[in-house]
C-alpha cells in the first residue's frame, strides 16, 4: 500500500489551504473599518492607553508583519482577546468547541450507521415500499433544512411526547462534572459519574439526530443506487458462480465498491456539520461553537470570528483528509493511480 | 457416453423498456461426461446468456427464465434450492468469463477473491474449516497452474495492477482451483491480442487434458473450435441450429447459417463472425415467429415462416434445425 506519498500530498495541499484561509481572514479583519485597539478599550479610553495597546498588538507595523505576529500567536493557540466576553478567545473556544464536536461526532456516527443500513435495505428491497419510503424521505431531506427538523423535534419531544430532553447539555438536577476535556461524556466518565454521562448522552440525541437526518436519507439513496448499479456487474455474477454464498456477496463484494460514493458525500456532509450546527445549537440551547461564532459576527468580535473560522477550516481539512484516506482504503484504483499496470 | 449436462427447450427473456427481449428461444444442447464441446455464433446470439442461465447467475431483476430444463447429472438446476445450487457452483460447474476485467472485483486483491473461492468450495466438500495457511497454499498453486510467476506477489495485487493477459489467467485460476465436472470458457482471450490469446487457449487445452473435465468452449473462431473440441454447436439468435462432431461439421455442413459462416472463414481471422452473411440478428423484442434465420436465409421457404424448426437428425450424430432436412430421419 503506497499510502505514504498520497498522505503527504494531501497534507501539503491542506497546509496551503489553511494558509490561504488565514491570510484571507486576516486581511478581511484588517480591512474592516475601525481601530481594533480602540474597539477593545472602548470609546472613553485615553489615547495613550490605546496607543500602548496598538504597539502591543503590533498595529503600528506593516500588514505583512502584523500577519506574521498574528499567525505566530494563532499557531500557539493565542487568538487574542474577545471584545465581547473580554476573555481570551482561546478560553472561549475551549469552553464551546467540545460541545459542538460532541454533537458533530454523534451526528457523524448516526450518518454512518443509518445511511448504510437504510441504503442496503433500499437496495435489497428495491421497488418495494421500503425503497419508496427512503426515497421520499431523501427528497424531504433535501427540501427541509436541519433547523426545521430541530423545531419539529422540539415540539414533538418537548410537548407532545416528552421522552427525551430538548434543552442544554445536562438536566437541571445533575451536577455537571468539572470540565477536564470539555466533552460531557468523557468528563462524566472521568468523574465516575454515570448518571451525568447518561443524562448528557440523552441531551445529545435529539440535536445530533436533527443535524444528521437530512444527510442520512440522501446518503442512503446514494448507497442504494451504487449497490443497484453494481448488482448487475459481471464480477458479482462471477463470484456467485464460483459458489461464494449470498451473504458474503452482499456484505463484502457488493457493499465495499458501493460505499465509495457514499463515503465521499458523507465526508462533505460531516465536514459541513459544524457550520450547519448553528441553528440546531440555537434551538436546543446547546452551548456550542457555532452559536458562539454567529454571536461573534453579530458583535463584530473580530478575534473571535477569525478564531472560529480558522478552527472550522482546520476541522474541515482534517475531516477531508480522513475521508480521503477511507476512500483510498476502499478504492485501490485511487490509491494506486500512478502505479498502474499495463 | 453418459450425459453430464442437458439443456432442454430453454427460453430466457430480458425485461426491457416496453416489454421483453425474448433472447433464448428453445435452446437444446447436450454435453457428455468428459466431452469437449465448442459453441460458435456471432456476438449477441445468446451464448453468454445460455451459460449464465446454467449457473443461475443472470441479473435477476431484469431477466426471466420463461421455460426449460437444465439437467446436470440428471437433476434440474432450475428447480434447485440454495444448498444444491451452491454445490453445483462450488463443485459441479465453473465459468471463465468473457471479459476478465469486468469479471474481477476492482476493490479486492486477487488473493482475497481467490481465497474466498477456495474457502467456500472446500468448506462444502469437507464441512470443515480450512486454515488460512493452507488456503493460501491452494491459491498459490492455482496461480502456478495457470503459469503465473511470482504467485506470492500476485496474491497481494489488485486487478488494475495486472495486464489483460494476467487478469485472464487469474480468472482461469479461480475456475480451476477446485476441480469441477464442467468448465465453461466464454470466449477466453478474445479481448487480448492474438499471441496472448493463443497462449491462453493452449493453457486451457492443457488444463482440460490434465483434469479430465468436460468443457464448453465458446469461441467465434471456427478454427479454434475445430482444433480444441470434439463436438460443435452452432448457435443463431437464441437457438442451436446445428451440431455435429467437429470433423463431420467441417466435412459436411448443412444449415444455411453454418454454410454462410464457413464461407466467411477467410475473413474471420481479423474481425467478427458472419461478415459474409448479409443482414443482422433479429430484434429480440419482436422476433420472426418461425425460423429466426429466415429473414437472412437464401433458401427460406413458406413453411419457415410459421414455427421454429426442431432438430432433425441426419445421422452420424449430426443434427440440423432447418426445414430443408425435414425429410431425413426425425427422432
Ligand atoms: N442484462 C441484459 N438486459 C437486456 N438485454 C441483454 C442483457 N444481457 C444481454 N442482453 C441481450 O441478449 C442478447 C444476447 O446476449 P449475449 O448472451 O451476451 O450474447 P453473446 O454472448 O452470444 O454475444 C443480446 O442482444 C444482448 O443485447
Ligand atoms: S428453416 Fe428455412 S429459413 Fe430456416 S434455415 Fe432452414 S431453410 Fe432457412
Ligand atoms: Mg458473450
Calculate mean pLDDT across residues A309-320. 89
- For residue B221, what are the CA distances in angstroms to B37, B228, B268, B321? 14, 11, 7, 21
Whether residue B31 contacts residue B232, with contact meaning beta carbons closer than 8 Å, is answered with no
Q: Is B179 on the interface with A (CB under 8 A)?
A: no
CATH of the domain at B198: 3.40.50.300
Cβ contact (<8 Å) for B160 and A340? Answer: yes
CA distance A237 to chain B (A): 5
CA distance B46 to A74: 68
Cβ contact (<8 Å) for A231 and B57? Answer: no
Question: Cell triple for residue B47?
Answer: 451464448
**Sorting pLDDT into bands at 50, 70 and 90, what band is B130?**
low
Whether residue B234 contacts residue B293, with contact meaning beta carbons closer than 8 Å, is answered with no
pLDDT of residue B270: 44
Name chain B contacts of A252, Cβ cutoff 8 Å.
116
Whether residue B205 contacts residue B228, with contact meaning beta carbons closer than 8 Å, is answered with yes
Query: Does residue B276 have a pLDDT over 60?
Result: yes
Q: Ligand 3 centroid vs B271 CA: distance in angstroms?
A: 15
Whether residue A310 contacts residue A21, with contact meaning beta carbons closer than 8 Å, is answered with yes
How would you list the strands of the sheet with B312-313, edge to edge? Answer: B93-96, B182-186, B214-219, B36-40, B231-236, B239-245, B319-320, B312-313
pLDDT of residue B322: 93
Query: Does residue A25 have a pLDDT over 90?
Result: no
Calculate mean pLDDT across residues B62-87. 92
Query: Does residue B271 have a pLDDT over 50?
Result: no
* Continuous segment of H or E residues that includes residue A107: helix A89-124
CA distance B134 to B121: 14
Residue whose CA is at the smallest distance from ligand 2 atom 7: B300
pLDDT of residue B119: 87
Query: Tens digit of pLDDT for each residue in A68-84?
Result: 888 888 888 888 888 77
The residue assigned the cell 485511487 is A334
Looking at chain B, the whole-number percentage of residues with pLDDT higher than 90 is 57
Facing residue for B103 by CB, picked from A234, A243, A244 = A234
Mean pLDDT of chain B, nearest integer: 88
Query: Does residue B107 have a pLDDT over 90?
Result: yes
Query: Does residue B263 have a pLDDT over 90?
Result: no
Question: Cell triple for residue B270?
Answer: 481479423
Query: Does residue B328 have a pLDDT over 60?
Result: no
Q: Is A237 on the interface with B (CB under 8 A)?
A: yes
pLDDT of residue A8: 87
**DSSP secondary-structure letter at B282?**
-
Beta bridge partners of B10: B27
Name chain B contacts of A342, Cβ cutoff 8 Å.
163-164
CA distance A204 to A210: 10
pLDDT of residue B47: 94
Query: Does residue A341 have a pLDDT over 50?
Result: no
- For residue B88, what are the CA distances in angstroms to A239, A241, B291? 14, 9, 34
The residue assigned the cell 466435412 is B251
pLDDT of residue A342: 30
Facing residue for A241 by CB, picked from B55, B99, B164 = B55
pLDDT of residue B126: 56
CA distance A169 to A272: 22
Whether residue A248 contacts residue A83, with contact meaning beta carbons closer than 8 Å, is answered with no
Structural domain count, chain B? 1
CATH number among 1.10.3720.10, 3.10.20.80, 3.40.50.300, 3.40.47.10, domain A89-341: 1.10.3720.10
Looking at chain A, the whole-number percentage of residues with pLDDT higher than 70 is 97
**Sorting pLDDT into bands at 50, 70 and 90, what band is A340?**
very low
Query: Does residue A55 have a pLDDT over 80?
Result: yes
Helix A89-124 with A255-271: angle, nearest 10 deg: 150
Query: Does residue B274 have a pLDDT over 60?
Result: no
Query: Tens digit of pLDDT for each residue in A184-242?
Result: 878 888 888 888 888 888 889 999 999 998 899 999 999 999 999 999 899 999 999 99
Query: Does residue B269 have a pLDDT over 50?
Result: no
Give B 291-330 residues with CB within 8 A of chain A: none
CB count within 10 Å of CB B115 equals 20
Distance, CA of B84 to chain centre: 22
Q: Coil, strand or helix: which one is B93?
A: strand
Question: Cell triple for residue B5?
Answer: 449436462
Name chain B contacts of A233, Cβ cutoff 8 Å.
102
Calculate mean pLDDT across residues A7-33. 85
Whether residue B130 contacts residue B122, with contact meaning beta carbons closer than 8 Å, is answered with yes
Calculate mean pLDDT across residues B285-293. 92
Query: Does residue B239 have a pLDDT over 90?
Result: yes
- For residue B62, what are the CA distances in angstroms to A154, A249, B9, B57? 45, 19, 21, 12
Give the residue extent of every domain in chain A.
3-72, 89-341
Whether residue B315 contacts residue B321, with contact meaning beta carbons closer than 8 Å, is answered with no
Amino acid at each position: 500500500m503506497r499510502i505514504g506519498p498520497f498522505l503527504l500530498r494531501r497534507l501539503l495541499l491542506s497546509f496551503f489551504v489553511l494558509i490561504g484561509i488565514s491570510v484571507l481572514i486576516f486581511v478581511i479583519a484588517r480591512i474592516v473599518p475601525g481601530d481594533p485597539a480602540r474597539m477593545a478599550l472602548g470609546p472613553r479610553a485615553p489615547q495613550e492607553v490605546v496607543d500602548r495597546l496598538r504597539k502591543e498588538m503590533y498595529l503600528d507595523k506593516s500588514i505583512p508583519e502584523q500577519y506574521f505576529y498574528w499567525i505566530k500567536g494563532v499557531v500557539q493557540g493565542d487568538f487574542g482577546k474577545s471584545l465581547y466576553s473580554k476573555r481570551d478567545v482561546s478560553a472561549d473556544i475551549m469552553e464551546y468547541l467540545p460541545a459542538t464536536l460532541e454533537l458533530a461526532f454523534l451526528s457523524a456516527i448516526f450518518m454512518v450507521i443509518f445511511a448504510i443500513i437504510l441504503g442496503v435495505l433500499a437496495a435489497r428491497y428495491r421497488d418495494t415500499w421500503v425503497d419508496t419510503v427512503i426515497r421520499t424521505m431523501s427528497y424531504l431531506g433535501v427540501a427541509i433544512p436541519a433547523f426545521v427538523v430541530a423545531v419539529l423535534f422540539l415540539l414533538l419531544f418537548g410537548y407532545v411526547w416528552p421522552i427525551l430532553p430538548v434543552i442544554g447539555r445536562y438536566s437541571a438536577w445533575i451536577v455537571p462534572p468539572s470540565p477536564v476535556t470539555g466533552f460531557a461524556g468523557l468528563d462524566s466518565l472521568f468523574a465516575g459519574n454515570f448518571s451525568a454521562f447518561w443524562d448528557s448522552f440523552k441531551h445529545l440525541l435529539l440535536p445530533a439526530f436533527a443535524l444528521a437526518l437530512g444527510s442520512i436519507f440522501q446518503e442512503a439513496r446514494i448507497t442504494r443506487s451504487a449497490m443497484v448499479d453494481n448488482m448487475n456487474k459481471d464480477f458479482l455474477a462471477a463470484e456467485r458462480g464460483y459458489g461464494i454464498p449470498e451473504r458474503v456477496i452482499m456484505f463484502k463484494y457488493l457493499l465495499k465498491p458501493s460505499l465509495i460514493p457514499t463515503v465521499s458525500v458523507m465526508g462533505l456532509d460531516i465536514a459541513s456539520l459544524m457550520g450547519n450546527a448553528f441553528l440546531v445549537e440555537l434551538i436546543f440551547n446547546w452551548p456550542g461553537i457555532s452559536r458562539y461564532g454567529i454571536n461573534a459576527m453579530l458583535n463584530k468580535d473580530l478575534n473571535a470570528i477569525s478564531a472560529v473560522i480558522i478552527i472550522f477550516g482546520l476541522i474541515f481539512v482534517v475531516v477531508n483528509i480522513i475521508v480521503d484516506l477511507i476512500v483510498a482504503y476502499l478504492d485501490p484504483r485511487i490509491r494506486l493511480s500512478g502505479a498502474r499496470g499495463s | 457416453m453418459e450425459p453430464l449436462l442437458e439443456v432442454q427447450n430453454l427460453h430466457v427473456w430480458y425485461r426491457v423498456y416496453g416489454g421483453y427481449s425474448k433472447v433464448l428461444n428453445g435452446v437444446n444442447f447436450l454435453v457428455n461426461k468428459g466431452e469437449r464441446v465448442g459453441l460458435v455464433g456471432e456476438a449477441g446470439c445468446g451464448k453468454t446468456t445460455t451459460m449464465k442461465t446454467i449457473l443461475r447467475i443472470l441479473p435477476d431483476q431484469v431477466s426471466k427464465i420463461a421455460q426449460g430444463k437444465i439437467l446436470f447429472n440428471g437433476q434440474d438446476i432450475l428447480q434447485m434450492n440454495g444448498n444444491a445450487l451452491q454445490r453445483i457452483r462450488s463443485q459441479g460447474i465453473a465459468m471463465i468469463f468473457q471479459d476478465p476485467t469486468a469479471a474481477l472485483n476492482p476493490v479486492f486483491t486477487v488473493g482475497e477473491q481467490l481465497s474466498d473461492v477456495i474457502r467456500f468450495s472446500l468448506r462444502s466438500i469437507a464441512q470443515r474449516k480450512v486454515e488460512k495457511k493452507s488456503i493460501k497454499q491452494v491459491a498459490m498453486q492455482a496461480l502456478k497452474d495457470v503459469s503465473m510467476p511470482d504467485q506470492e506477489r500476485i496474491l497481494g495485487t489488485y486487478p488494475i495492477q495486472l495486464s489483460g493477459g494476467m487478469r485472464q489467467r487469474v480468472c482461469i485460476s479461480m475456475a480451476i482451483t477446485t476441480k469441477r465436472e464442467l468448465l465453461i470458457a466464454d470466449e477466453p482471450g478474445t479481448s487480448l491480442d492474438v499471441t496472448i490469446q493463443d497462449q491462453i487457449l493452449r493453457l486451457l487445452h492443457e488444463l482440460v487434458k490434465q483434469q479430465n473435465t468436460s468443457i464448453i468452449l465458446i469461441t467465434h473462431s471456427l478454427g479454434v473450435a475445430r482444433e480444441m473440441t470434439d463436438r460443435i454447436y452452432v448457435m443463431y439468435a437464441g437457438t442451436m441450429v446445428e451440431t455435429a462432431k467437429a470433423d463431420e461439421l467441417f466435412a459436411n455442413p448443412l444449415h444455411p447459417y453454418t454454410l454462410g459462416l464457413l464461407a466467411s472463414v477467410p475473413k474471420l481471422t481479423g474481425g467478427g463472425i458472419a461478415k459474409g452473411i448479409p443482414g443482422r440478428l433479429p430484434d429480440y423484442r419482436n422476433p420472426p415467429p418461425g425460423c429466426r434465420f429466415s429473414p437472412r436465409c437464401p433458401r427460406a421457404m413458406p413453411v419457415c415462416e410459421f414455427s421454429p424448426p426442431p432438430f432433425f437428425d441426419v445421422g452420424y450424430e449430426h443434427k440440423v434445425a432447418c426445414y430443408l432436412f425435414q425429410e431425413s430421419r426425425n427422432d
